Amino acid sequence: MKGKIMGLRSVEWKDNAIRIIDQTRLPTRLEYIYLKDLRSLRQAIKQLRVRGAPALGAIAALGVYLGIKDARCKDFSALAARLDKITSYLGSARPTARNLFWGLEVMAEAALENKDQPLSRIKKILLRKARGIIEEDRRSCRGIASYGQKLIKDNDVILTVCNAGILATIDYGTALGVIYRAKEEGKKIKVYACETRPLLQGARLTTWELKQKGVEVTLICDNMAATLMRQKKISKVITGADRIAANGDTANKIGTLNLAVLSRFYAIPFYVAAPFSTIDTDTKSGKDIPIEERDPGEVSDMFFRRRTCAKGIKIFNPAFDLTDHRLITAMITDKGIIKPPYSLNIKKKIAKNAHK
Amino acid sequence: MKGKIMGLRSVEWKDNAIRIIDQTRLPTRLEYIYLKDLRSLRQAIKQLRVRGAPALGAIAALGVYLGIKDARCKDFSALAARLDKITSYLGSARPTARNLFWGLEVMAEAALENKDQPLSRIKKILLRKARGIIEEDRRSCRGIASYGQKLIKDNDVILTVCNAGILATIDYGTALGVIYRAKEEGKKIKVYACETRPLLQGARLTTWELKQKGVEVTLICDNMAATLMRQKKISKVITGADRIAANGDTANKIGTLNLAVLSRFYAIPFYVAAPFSTIDTDTKSGKDIPIEERDPGEVSDMFFRRRTCAKGIKIFNPAFDLTDHRLITAMITDKGIIKPPYSLNIKKKIAKNAHK
């Protein structure tokens, strides 16, 4: 099994289709599925067969190529119209994740830049671009891990939520990548994983991944985090991010805000690890980030043998929450660590990278 | 169904046995079971077929009677030895709940007070005593509700955890009793119920109860509470208590501490509602309260169609947590509202009631 995860890739272009690990089957089965058309791709995104902000960026890009590879457009404007359609079709699958839109935008721009090329050439360029995004994600995760591991001390006990690992990216992870890298550096680390209701990505995916990678992990229910902190068992919290606003407000899996508030109360550093592309400077603050509400059935019965509540009970099921930037100790990105004040330091980081 | 709940009694002495509602079958089925011996009683307590601190006090008392009703002891010291055995047998079923031990102690004292009576008479006295505890619980809940409802305003939106209602008491509830009474007073109230992993008492029991009683309720996963508070949707938090130490530190269902910390951060009043008998002045502070850890299977698979995590994953499953008294705005008891400083005000309340 260890061999399996070493070469594991959550998203790949293979046999003229997008091959993904069906994450709804884990941890029971490691099963690959091939997505051959936009409809099944969009459904796989909606059903969380593929998930995780960075992985969504990659799959969006591959999705654009999937949508145009067999297209017969008479000119570029016909292609552009088709790209528009694909972008809104895939972009509406999940409203919160920045990387999804980012992947779609990058592809649309690449097409536009090459509008004078013949269609067959543009198609090739777009496939190369999508593959480039995949490689960029791999590099980016390694960058995050490399900066992040410096923050990790020997014998740290790290709490995390949802899955910000191999399965959320291409093959290394953001929050978990930091842990993998620190372990590779010889640091001894223990992890507590919040199960992450309603869909249990922490229980199903994170504990599975960490175990494969030989990291000591203990599973808890989400409501047990406070007790661990009270008992001084947690030295750091690291989570991923689905979108980061210009002021540092961060949307991530529901339960993240909870951990951020607890961390503040118990004076534990709270880190967000994400590719720099997760920062959306067009979004001023958390108020401007739409939060996806998902099917109440996820709470009442999706994973249960029997209903968890009587029929007809009202259910609130936001998939993400917003963590105020003031609660975040630092952001770990592939362009380096960003500390408060975020509005200023994000701008500086952008300027610095533009000059490179 | 409404008629059903109006006359609902979670625990009762009936047909020469203890009749309980099997709470593990709710909300799917409202099913009564009869406990005819100590072994099945202890198992029902351990398996949470009957649960809730006040209900445990009542059932412990009935359990003592169940254990001696057919006993043939040659003298009181033989009976006392038998009572000792019953007390440690039932008392070890759940280590955290104060009321369980309290119910056992009250019965042992009642026996001792009547040690000169014939055995058949003592048996009758103990049955009357146990029934008295049941009636006392009913009065006590109504007392809590009566004091507590004064704290509730029209249009309050109340967050609660686990089940501190009819099913946790005899027939009215502590935290939920306050809500029922406020509603009876004509106040409009909405409730959010945390599902309360791992065993989902909030989802299964609280939403069911509230719906039967016509209270508007919305179910959330435990990790969504922070978002509701951030959105200013919660005006008060009310929970029950399993044991309150002399300094006010409170043991209650896992997840309570989480809500207390969040309430502090978002400046929301956090109330604990419990019978005064839940206060254990022999326990100086939370440090002295043993916290029950339960089977990891409750987290990994008890309620799920399939395992939530891979086999062999370590799991931490504390059934309760400890809320620091500094996080509690006030305690709602049947002897009145107790405010900080708790050490002092609990002592005062005891002194005042001793003089009555």
pLDDT, position A245 = 98
Mean pLDDT, chain B, integer: 95
Average pLDDT on A283-304 reads: 89
Mean pLDDT, chain A, integer: 95
Give the count of beta carbons closer than 10 Å to the beta carbon of residue A27. 23
pLDDT, position A101 = 94
Question: Do A262 and B258 lie within an 8 Å CB cutoff?
Answer: yes
Instruction: Give the pair of three-digit tokens for residue A151.
Output: 């923050």
Length of chain A: 356
- Picking from A194, A226, A299, the nearest residue to B257 by CB comes out as A226
* C-alpha A289: how far from chain center: 16
Question: d(Cα A310, Cα A300) in Å, to the nearest integer?
Answer: 9
Give the count of beta carbons closer than 10 Å to the beta carbon of residue B149. 20
Express each pLDDT in B192-225 by its tens digit.
Answer: 999 999 999 999 999 999 999 999 999 999 999 9
Edge-first strand order for the sheet with B11-14 is B11-14, B17-21, B32-35
Question: d(Cα B344, Cα A105) in Å, to the nearest integer?
Answer: 64
Give the single-character DSSP code of A153: P
Residue of B195, B211, B221, B295 to mutate, testing the A interface (most A Cβ within 10 Å of its Cβ): B221
Report the catalytic residues of A.
Answer: 242
Is B242 annotated as catalytic? yes
B216 chain-A contacts, CB cut-off 8 A = 314
- B227 close contact with A: CB closer than 8 A: yes
Pairing of strands A189-194, A243-245: unpaired
Interfacial B residues in 196-215 facing A (CB < 8 Å) = 196-198, 200, 203-204, 207-208, 211
pLDDT, position B39 = 98
Tell me the Ramachandran region of residue B89: left when phi exceeds 0, alpha when psi lies from -120 to 50, beta otherwise: alpha
User: Which of A298-302, B289-293, B349-353 has the lowest average pLDDT?
Assistant: A298-302
pLDDT, position A1 = 40
Query: What type of residue sits at position B242?
Result: D
Q: Find the helix packing angle between B38-46 and B53-68, rounded to 10°.
A: 170
B218 or A305: whose pLDDT is higher?
B218
Express each pLDDT in A8-53 by its tens digit.
Answer: 899 999 999 999 999 999 998 999 999 999 999 999 999 999 999 9
Looking at the predicted structure, is the pLDDT value of residue A302 above 80?
no
pLDDT, position B28 = 87
B138: closest CA of chain A, how far (Å): 26
Closest of B133, B205, B201, B200 to residue B170, by C-alpha: B133
Average pLDDT on B314-318 reads: 97
Express each pLDDT in B100-114 by its tens digit.
Answer: 999 999 999 999 999
Question: Do A309 and B203 lie within an 8 Å CB cutoff?
Answer: yes
B304 or B260: whose pLDDT is higher?
B260
Q: How confident is the model at residue B61 (pLDDT cuts 50, 70, 90)?
A: very high
Express each pLDDT in A173-231 by its tens digit.
Answer: 999 999 999 999 999 999 999 999 999 999 999 999 999 999 999 999 999 999 999 99
pLDDT, position A196 = 97
Express each pLDDT in B148-177 by its tens digit.
Answer: 999 999 999 999 999 999 999 999 999 999
Outline where A214-341 has alpha helix (H).
225-230, 256-265, 297-300
Report whether B337 contacts B331 (CB < 8 A).
yes
pLDDT, position A307 = 83
Edge-first strand order for the sheet with B270-273 is A314-315, B216-220, B189-194, B156-160, B236-239, B270-273, B330-333, B336-338
Residue of A212, A224, A234 to mutate, testing the B interface (most B Cβ within 10 Å of its Cβ): A224
Question: Do B313 and A222 lie within an 8 Å CB cutoff?
Answer: no
